[in-house]
Amino acid sequence: MKLLEIQSSVRQEGSISRALSAEFIQVWQMSHSNTDCKMRDVGINPPAHPTALWTQANYTPQEMRSLSMIAALADSETLIEELLWADRLLLGVPMYNFSVPSTFKAYLDNVVRINRTFSFDPTTYTFKGLATSKKALIITPSAGNFVVGTDLDHMNFCDTYLRSLLKFIGIDDITVVPVPDQFMADEIRQAEIAKARTRLMEVATDW
């Protein structure tokens, strides 16, 4: 089993997504002793944003790319190979301004690429995900309660965006564990963290 952990919080100290991810991996590895884990920290070391040259290279057939095009896509290729390598994706994605952190958006823009993680059929105008046979677990803390079913769920673009994008590249088995109200009253915060921790320990047994 191969697990890729991707963290996107800009904080290292006090990050709920990082702390809960570490706890989950520790428990998950107890029943997956042969696990090979990799960690990509795009919160602290974000990938570069795509450029005009990057975009040109992306739509140029591989055998026709210049050396500068190949260089422009080098980091993207590394991130994609890492993603395709994994059987399981653990994503620590705190909600920033109702959506994902900009660092994580830059990561996604580097890995969602035609003929690498999805294909397009111009005759039928259909897309097909290429990053199949994977499971994704998303831990998403937020500074308010935007969980589906609450009064503010219409502002939760983090959950809906991630589900849509992962399914687009072929990942249909998605579990989201929200941690709402992390900056509100401490008793509420601790209760929500405990609830998320319990849910993650349940998931760890058969994920």
> What pLDDT was estimated at residue 29?
92
> What pLDDT was estimated at residue 168?
98
As a whole-number percent, the residues of the chain with pLDDT over 90 amount to 78
Distance CA 56, CA 54 (A): 6
Distance from CA of residue 97 to its chain's centroid?
17
- For the segment 129-142, the average pLDDT, to the nearest whole number, is 96
Which domains are delineated in the chain?
2-204 (3.40.50.360)
- The pair of three-digit structure tokens given for residue 14, joined into one six-digit string: 């006090």
54-80 pLDDT, tens digit per residue, is 999 999 999 999 999 999 999 999 999
Distance CA 93, CA 101 (A): 7
Residue 28 buriedness (CB in 10 A; 0-12 / 13-18 / 19+):
buried
Give the residues across from 6 on adjacent strands. Answer: 40, 91
Per residue, what are the HEC states of 56-72? HHHCCCHHHCCHHHHHH
Cα Rg for the chain, rounded, in angstroms?
18
